[in-house]
Structure 1
Amino acid sequence: MKSFIFLLIMIFSLDIYAIPSQAEINEYKNKEYQVCENQCYADRESCFAQSRSFARNQAEWQSMDIACFKQRNACSERCKLILSQPY
């Protein structure tokens, strides 16, 4: 009987230990957010490079750059969802 109680206590304590703290969750979410933001930035830079390569005139180039900014802003908004989602 004592060994059974001891086993239950061990299982319960392992279960508690496996639950991450809020600080650990926040740290993980912040890292995930930063990776997402870095990818958005890289995508934006790639978009800018493509707009300069493919644009035939300044008006077309500016229009493509505006599209790059809009794409970047949408990407950034998706990244912000990482921080607001419950874990």
Structure 2
Amino acid sequence: MNKTREQACADSLWGSPALFVTASFICFEIVGGSGTKLGWILYACGWLPVLGMFAWSGIKRRRPGVGGAVGVGILLVFGLLFWLNHG
């Protein structure tokens, strides 16, 4: 199945929170004390693509689909875990 350029871009943006969460995890666990602030900044930046895609879905009047649920789910679960461990 060939995806349009718009769909391929949307799939990449919906999946991008995983990259931000991974970078945050590295800052929290490997870098340690001085990396905690950077970890929270990276985590907050992970919300930008998701919120942008929700806005884009609203403009296009389309449902976000499974990608929206997965992106938000990743951020919520790991945000809670980060907060419990480093909040």
When normalised by structure 1's length, the TM-score is 0.43
Of structures 1 and 2, the larger Rg is shown by 1
